[in-house]
Amino acid sequence: MALQVYTASLLKEGLVAYLSLKDGVPSWTADIREATADTADRLDSLKAAAESAEQDNIVVAPYVIDVLETENGWKAATKREQIRAEGPSFALPQDSSTAHRSDESRRAA
């Protein structure tokens, strides 16, 4: 059976988060490698913690994703979830207008 973790977006920060249960205490982490994974038929405690966090307005729209175990920890099984976990799959261009404005403000100071 595939291993799964709960993911959601943190309501306050908007960041992607993963549910972690350490010593029975639920918390949300931005690092998928720290998530608690289990098989689909044993996700009851994770589901209850995710639903409670949503009701408490900590996260929005929790759902399960399949993960793969690697030597570095959990990795999302689908490309979509890998991008959510790791960020864009290509380097983002730098905004030259922002860099130019910061140069001007340094000269003015």
Q: Is the pLDDT of residue 100 over 60?
A: no
109 found inside a domain: no
73 found inside a domain: yes
- CA 56, CA 92: separation in Å to the nearest integer? 35
Confidence of residue 25 (pLDDT cuts 50, 70, 90): very high
Average pLDDT score over residue span 87-99:
74
Average pLDDT score over residue span 79-103:
76
Range of the domain at 82: 3-89
102 found inside a domain: no
Mean per-residue pLDDT of the chain: 87
49 found inside a domain: yes
84 found inside a domain: yes
81 found inside a domain: yes
74 found inside a domain: yes
- CA 46, CA 79: separation in Å to the nearest integer? 23
103 found inside a domain: no
- CA 47, CA 34: separation in Å to the nearest integer? 17
Confidence of residue 41 (pLDDT cuts 50, 70, 90): confident
Q: What token pair was written down for 47?
A: 């589901």
Global pTM value? 0.78
Average pLDDT score over residue span 25-44:
93
Average pLDDT score over residue span 8-27:
93
Domains of the chain: total? 1
